A and B are shown apart, each in its own frame.
Chain A
């Protein structure tokens, strides 16, 4: 991007309000960038640049987002636009209404350049499970952007949008944010409405913002965090100004390091980034505390029972009758199975089968019920740890972005989520922020988790570490 153009949403908004830049001019620059680089990156499943141009012309410069381009993951509905979830089964599906979070963003002056690529129904950690094409990491085009919100994080990293939204069921906002060198935030479960998000694992799914700075995610949260009567899991909370809550230091804050994660095999540069973040925390007035979560390593197996179980139920609605693809059969049963076989990709089928298995008679207690108890155990341990520490610091991922096609074993792919899954199981907020690069120049992400409803304080802590490690304030 031209050096004169704003790098962040905050800089953009300031420039637009000072009449140094218009939303239309900025969108034209964005469009040039998309036309030049999108054929290599492939962040979008559908572009709507002409409509976005009109929206930018009409944008109110005094609105909270002032006409800034914000991309939307293609499992979140925007009225009149296709919503494929990266799946053949919804290839031609057009959303009849907008998700509440999309309505909020549009009302706040966001301009949507397009809908972004994702792993099919958000199941994956690389965006290679998209039924249409893989997205490439802008930091190195032969590598994956992470997933499942890889299109959204790649769009922000490549300059195709100043922000984006994604969904995070087991790390699907934070892991690709780490791989692409951007900030990704999973709010507390219930903080952001999910009305209009195509459900994957309903007890885990959260919609979260993706941006180039922590401050920008706070600006987006000011728009996104509203109570929604249309989502029964949306919780009414007192108003918080996320941006105004950003504090300059970590004075008095306790940063917890999880003992049980210390022995994990992590790329050396990521371990070094953890050290640097600890030093930055101490320098900023925080104290470091050692915390123990004896069962945290059981989070991954518990998740890969609970999430497939919920997905097998949620994806039951794709039957060839009510929406999307239809493959006729001799009777309804054959119509269902032919449609689903033709419409779902391998990973989705795999997870539906695991889910149907762990919920089936004879296996329910040993798998699903056990996993639910382990989930409670981990939640209790996390809650206790977050009483002796204000935030917990971990890597976001064990490695930086891998090459497209390099991980073919589904179990190996699942292991990329080891650090991100606990926050989903417990419903606590967690943010990934860039913390330098590895020897190959690939972005490294670190994660902070905090207590339920401490979203604003968590972003404040992340902002201090992010800026101390070289990020834009």
Chain B
């Protein structure tokens, strides 16, 4: 059977998912993913040509009225680093951090 996922694809997918695969993780992960994807690939034999994808039921939208919610401090309280009510991140545009 043709390989579904190889080392290069795994590394590409991991970079999309912002995950680092350590060298020790790589072999067992490749084996697991190959078997899982091989198992789910059986769906290709199901005839779905007659299926009309139904539009999901419309969700009921509430009026766009402002109301009491979390305060800024409560909302941001879980962030690892904060300054002056803002979340602190590394410089994303290149150059040195402040």
A residues near B (Cβ < 8 Å) are 93-94, 96-97, 229, 232-233, 235-236, 295, 298, 301-302, 304-305, 312, 316, 319-326, 328-333, 335-338, 340-341, 344, 346, 349-350, 352-357, 360, 366-367, 370-374, 376-377, 380, 410-411, 414
A411 contact from B12, B39, B87, B91, Cβ within 8 A: B39
* CA A353 to CA B46, docked complex, whole Å: 24
Nearest B residue to A348 via CB reads B19
For the complex formed, measure the closest distance between the CB of A443 and the CB atoms of chain B, giving whole angstroms: 29
Establish whether residues A353 and B39, one from each chain, have CB atoms under 8 Å apart when the complex forms.
Answer: no
Contact with A along B1-24 (1 / 0, CB 8 A): 000010001101111111110100
Residues of B within 8 A of A304 (CB): 36, 39-40
On whether the beta carbons of A96 and B70 are closer than 8 Å, the reply is yes
> In chain B between 14 and 52, which residues have their CB closer than 8 angstroms to a CB of chain A?
14-20, 22, 25, 29, 32-33, 35-37, 39-44, 46, 48, 51
B75 part of interface (Cβ distance < 8 Å): yes
Interface code B39-74, partner A: CB below 8 Å = 1, 0 otherwise? Answer: 111111010100101100001111000000010001
What would 12 more interface pairs be, CB under 8 Å, given A322-B79, A411-B36? A96-B75, A97-B70, A331-B91, A331-B92, A349-B25, A350-B32, A350-B33, A356-B17, A357-B33, A367-B41, A370-B48, A371-B40
Q: Which of B39, B70, B78 contacts A94 (CB 8 A)?
A: B78
Q: Which residues of B contact A319 (CB under 8 A)?
A: 18
Judge whether A352 and B17 touch: CB under 8 Å: yes
Chain A proximity of B98: nearest CB distance (Å): 15
Q: Complex formed: what's the CA distance from A325 to B81 in Å?
A: 11
Q: Among the listed B40, B46, B60, which residue makes an inter-chain contact with A295, where contact means beta carbons less than 8 Å apart?
A: B46
Given A93-B78, A96-B74, decide whether A232 and B19 contact each other with a Cβ distance below 8 A.
Answer: no
Q: Which of A320, A321, A340, A377 contacts B19 (CB 8 A)?
A: A340
Asked if B46 contacts A298 (CB within 8 A), the reply is yes
- Please pick, from A236, A322, A354, A370, the residue contacting B43 in the complex, using a CB distance under 8 A: A370
Interface residues on B, range: 35 or more
**Chain A residues with CB under 8 A of B32:** 350, 410-411
Closest to A312 in B: B17
Between B15, B19, B61, B87, the greatest number of chain A beta carbons within 10 A of the residue's beta carbon is seen for B19
Indicate which residue in A326, A352, A410 contacts B36 across the interface (CB closer than 8 Å): A410
Q: Assuming A93-B78, A304-B39, A374-B43, is B29 touching A350 (CB within 8 A)? A: yes
Q: Which of chain B's residues have a CB closer than 8 A to the CB of A322?
A: 78-79, 87
Q: B19 and A96: CB pair below 8 A?
A: no
Q: State the majority secondary structure of interface residues on A.
A: helix
Q: Is the CB of B19 within 8 A of A341?
A: yes
Query: Would A374 and B19 be within 8 Å (CB), given that A350-B29, A353-B33 are in contact?
Result: no
21 interchain pairs (CB within 8 A)?
A94-B77, A96-B75, A232-B61, A301-B40, A302-B43, A304-B40, A322-B87, A328-B90, A329-B90, A333-B18, A335-B89, A340-B19, A346-B25, A349-B25, A350-B29, A350-B32, A352-B17, A356-B16, A371-B43, A377-B51, A414-B36
- B90 and A357 within 8 A (CB): no
Q: How far is the CB of A136 from chain B (nearest CB, A)?
A: 26
Q: A366-B44, A411-B36 are in contact. Are A353 and B29 (CB under 8 A)?
A: yes
Q: Is the CB of B78 within 8 A of A377?
A: no
> In the complex, how many angstroms separate the beta carbon of B63 from the nearest chain A beta carbon?
9
Tell me if B10 and A301 are in contact (CB < 8 A): no
* A367 engages B40 (CB within 8 Å): yes
The 7 closest A-B pairs by CB, nearest first: A326-B80, A373-B48, A323-B78, A301-B40, A356-B17, A336-B18, A96-B74
Report the minimum CB–CB distance from A308 to chain B (whole Å).
9
Complex Cα gap A88–B62 (Å): 36
Is the beta-carbon distance between A377 and B46 smaller than 8 angstroms? yes
Task: From the candidates A352, A367, A373, name the one contacting B51 in the complex (CB within 8 A).
Answer: A373
Contact B36 A96 (CB under 8 A): no
CA distance A353 to B16 in the complex (A): 9
Across-interface contacts of B17 in A (CB, < 8 A): 312, 340, 352-353, 355-356
> In this complex, what residue of A is CB-closest to B40?
A301
A216 smallest CB distance to B (angstroms) = 31
- Distance between Cα atoms of A110 and B97 in the complex (Å): 49
Q: Which residue of A lies closest to B75 (CB)?
A: A96
Question: Could you tell me if A374 and B48 are in contact, using CB atoms closer than 8 angstroms?
Answer: yes
Q: How close is A21's CB to chain B, nearest CB, in angstroms?
A: 38
The answer to whether B29 and A298 have CB atoms under 8 Å apart is: no
CB-CB < 8 A to A305: which residues of B?
A: 40, 43
Q: How far is the CA of A320 from the CA of B19 in the complex (A)?
A: 12
The answer to whether B16 and A372 touch across the interface, beta carbons within 8 angstroms, is no
Chain A, residue nearest B71 (CB): A96
